[in-house]
Structure 1
Amino acid sequence: MTEFFIKPISGVTVRDPETLEPLSESGEKKPQNGYWLRRLNDGDIEVVEQQKKKKGAE
């Protein structure tokens, strides 16, 4: 299944339907399924580029 890196829009709490935990404000990788695509369509989340760690950085 295809995944994408998403984060909630500022001031919005979006819960994962499986864990019931809020989506991290810094973003998380989630499957592109109906639930997350509806949240995107509703404007509750945004797709972001996943920040890559620099080589050698801790």
Structure 2
Amino acid sequence: MRVKPAPGLQVRDPFTKKLLAADGIEVPDDSPVWNRILNDGDVVRVEQPAAAAPAQARAVTGDDKA
């Protein structure tokens, strides 16, 4: 899951002791520490857009009709 500081707060990563970036960081879903911080309201979960599948390109051959 991805979390970022709640509005108006600065939150330190409990492991690195550095402040979280405003756009958030990726943390383990099953982490008791991060789930506690999330439940306390110090961070909010960032909804990630679904990863777009890359378009499949195909080679143009002489047999292709335009």
Q: Which TM-score applies when normalising by structure 1?
A: 0.72
1:28 aligns with 2:30: no
Q: Which moved more, 1:36-45 or 1:23-32?
A: 23-32
Q: How many residues align?
A: 52
SS at match of 1:31: coil
Deviations 1:9-53 (A, max 9, x none): 11111111111001111111112311110111111111112357x
| CA 1:35–1:13: 2 relative to 1, 3 Å | same
Q: CA RMSD in A?
A: 2.0
SS at match of 1:46: strand
The 2-side partners of 1:31 and 1:42 are apart by 17
4+ long deviations beyond 2 Å: none
Identity %: 41
Q: Which TM-score applies when normalising by structure 2?
A: 0.64
1:42 aligns with 2:51: no
If asked which structure has higher relative contact order (CA below 8 Å, sep 6+), I would say 1
